[in-house]
Amino acid sequence: TVELRTLIPKGFEVIGALAYGADADAQAAVYAARRLRKLLYGEEEGDNRPVIGAVAAGSGELKFFVSESGKSNSLEEVDSVVEEEHSEKYVWENGCLVRCELPIKLPVYYPLKNTSDVEKAFVRAIEAVVAKLRDSQAVYMLEALNKTSMDLPAPIVIRGGHLDFRADLSNIWPLAEGGDNFDVNSLPCSYFSVISKGSSGFSVENADTIQVSVLFNSLGPSSASAVPVAEYIPAQDEARLLVVDIKLDVLCYASKKLPLRHAVSRLIIPGLADQLNALQNSMLPNLLGQHPQIKPYHFSPPHVLHPITVFYELSFGETEMKQVEVRRSLHTRLGLPFDRPLLRIANALDFSKLKNGGLGSQQKGSTLLRDVHIGIPNSGVSGGSVSLVQGSYEYFHYLQDGFNDSGWGCAYRSLQTIISWFRLQNYSSIEVPSHREIQQSLVEIGDKDPSFVGTRDWIGAIELSFVLDKLLGVTCKVINVRSGAELPEKCRELALHFETQGTPIMIGGGVLAYTLLGVDYNEASGDCAFLILDPHYTGTDDLKKIVNGGWCGWKKAVDSKGKNFFLHDKFYNLLLPQRPNMV
């Protein structure tokens, strides 16, 4: 139940359930929804709010029923249903994120004669923190988390559920809308909406974000003089102090119409209490041993409209089997694939680096061009089916980083692009290796002599597979083609690779190497085109120049002028890196 409360952020509610199959029953769906609400929110099954029961029959038709009263088993079918065509846009156009990060050093005193009392002392300390959060004198400061904007609304301070302080809002907030009867305590979350979405769209990554800070050490409203007071209570038996480090990080969803004070009282405070209780349960079994390093992380996995929060215990690292099983379980519950790492720390939302008003992940940045194929002209294949690389990559080419590899480094550059793909998909955190580091890897595995390091010798598909295996643990499939004329015959197999594996392919043949990013293939006519990323480019990283010059574009085996792109008198090896089966 505690885990579900973190997977469903505060601000979202369970309003119903769906039953599907030949024997689907709307009453069973309503009952299931009530049970889940009771588990999550402590509500009784007799809760009077309406519950929706949806039924998907074998025909695929979807019907909705409403149970108006929790005490009644009567259902009323809904005649008219309004369906949002763009759910993600609706959710984030009308709502925002509210975040509170709270590190706590929790002092716990326990008698040495009876160490079992440490658990009781720890529970009492947790309860004291929760009580302090809910105290009427607790102070919370709210501010916009968009560091890139120069025109930020003034921060708001809330004490005891009411606005304790506000700056001059006359030029920021349209008070005239409320007229003379405007109540500052009804100030909504939209007060902090400062982000212009533009072409970036509405999503978790581009959501307006409100940062909430807890101000424990604050002066009371009284102006009366007072002297400091210290109370000394001697321990009856020899005692020891245990300081427990706790890191809370709550992320909630709030309607932009919700008053800011309710965002604190109904979302943030209950969220902090839930996290404290969850951490208490995790830490109790081993309080006097090595404290587990438990920390919350926020993720926005694909096809899940809202963010999720996950607690990771990283005492033994991220690849330790216990941690892998935690991620595997989460993939199962969220319906995520098992062949890609979507919930690793590198995927977590990074609130410290907002880019253009949007959230980034914790993946290290780079100045290189990414995904240069997006937006290029179509292939010209009539009635074809396009299969493309999945995810992001960086474009590596001749003369980058001031290193002159013109005439010999094209396979090295293709390998760097492939490794960048594995980095950006969070399969690996290693830096993209230099030419010398690639050569050194081949020497270390015994494929090359030590004299190979520092040379300008070419490498091919087989050497690339050795390096990928050594540096990333990635296996590769190699397709041998005797002549460039036979490459179109491999289009069906290449399309299957992009649809199932999604990794960039290296094509090596004769004296040239290319990176293949996709194919457009008409199975009926056999017509096809290859999306080529050419590492032989020697100019600056100018996207327009690269695309207009054909350094990234669709290439037919034989162009309109009868020229062969792939040489008929040369053999080709195609290196197909396989996506690791890991979470």
Indicate which residues carry an active-site annotation.
410, 534, 536
Distance CA 461, CA 63 (A): 55
Structure tokens belonging to residue 350:
């990074």
Closest to 294 in 3D by CA, of 332, 323, 256, 264: 323
Q: What is the DSSP letter of 57?
A: -
DSSP 265: I
The separation between CA 447 and the C-alpha centre of its own chain, rounded to angstroms, equals: 39
Instruction: Confirm if 247 and 295 have CB atoms less than 8 A apart.
Output: yes
Three-class SS string for 451-513? HHCCCCCCCCHHHHHHHHHHHHCCCEEEEEECCHHHHHHHHHHHHHHHHHCCCCEEEEECCEE
Of 315, 344, 350, the closest CA to residue 331 belongs to 344
Q: Are the C-beta atoms of 273 and 285 separated by less than 8 Å? A: no
- Using alpha carbons only, what angle is made at residue 40 by residues 34 and 42, rounded to the nearest 5 degrees? 80
429: exposed, middle or buried (C-beta count within 10 Å: 0-12, 13-18, 19+)?
middle
Which residue from 410, 418, 426 is spatially nearest to 538, judged by alpha carbons? 410
Rounded to 5 degrees, what are φ and ψ at 291?
-60, 130
Contact between 412 and 526 under an 8 Å Cβ cutoff? The reply is: no
> What residues does 577 pair with on adjacent strands?
476
The radius of gyration computed from the CA coordinates of the chain, to the nearest angstrom, equals: 30
CB within 8 Å of 429: residues ≥ 6 apart: 346, 423
Query: What does each C-alpha distance from 37 to 28, 51, 276 come to in angstroms?
Result: 14, 10, 21
SS3 210: strand
Terminal CA-CA length for the chain: 24
Tokens of 160: 């005891």
Non-local (6+) Cβ contacts of 300 within 8 A are 203, 204, 205, 307, 308, 349, 359
